[in-house]
Amino acid sequence: MPAPQRTSQFIRFAAVGAAGFIVDLGVVLLLVQGAGVDPYLARAFAVFAAILFTWVMNRTFTFTVENSSTLKRELLLYFAVNMGGSVINYAVYSAFLWTVGGRLPMVLVISVGLGSLAGLMWNFSMSRRLIYPNGQTAKPRL
């Protein structure tokens, strides 16, 4: 894949990731601030929601999906690959949260943001290699 096309694909992936960050953060804030859930447990639920959201968005806007008959397999593979990025993401989130402490919304925002950035490169490179190996950029379906 030519560099400009790969760059465009990465920008789309990052934009989807930014939207996933909002889902992730929204779930964390809702559970921690609204329901009093422990921030470490809340993040586990939030990561699940964000992975599901980004899978739908990436298969629509970022990568070409040639065979939709393997939808379940694609979803399971996407979850498996993104769990690697989630481990990196959660480690950075937890380290920052443990270092700074507290449940203040700004601490949660920064923690989720740092974790999300840390997992981004893993998720993109593994998604291109293992889930969408044709490397083609999707044409947005609206």
Domain ranges of the chain: 3-131
Q: Which residue has the higher pLDDT, 33 or 63?
A: 33
Q: How many CB atoms within 10 Å of residue 113?
A: 16
- The mean per-residue pLDDT over the stretch 114-127 comes to 91
- The mean per-residue pLDDT over the stretch 76-88 comes to 93
Return the pLDDT at 1: 64
Q: What is the pTM of this model?
A: 0.81
pLDDT tens sequence across 48-81: 999 999 999 998 889 877 666 678 888 999 999 9
Q: How many CB atoms within 10 Å of residue 124?
A: 19
Helices (H) then strands (E): counts for the chain:
5, 0
Q: How many CB atoms within 10 Å of residue 45?
A: 15
Q: How many CA atoms lie within 13 A of 79 on its CB side?
A: 9
Return the pLDDT at 101: 84
> What is the distance between the alpha carbons of residues 67 and 49, in angstroms, rounded to a whole number?
24
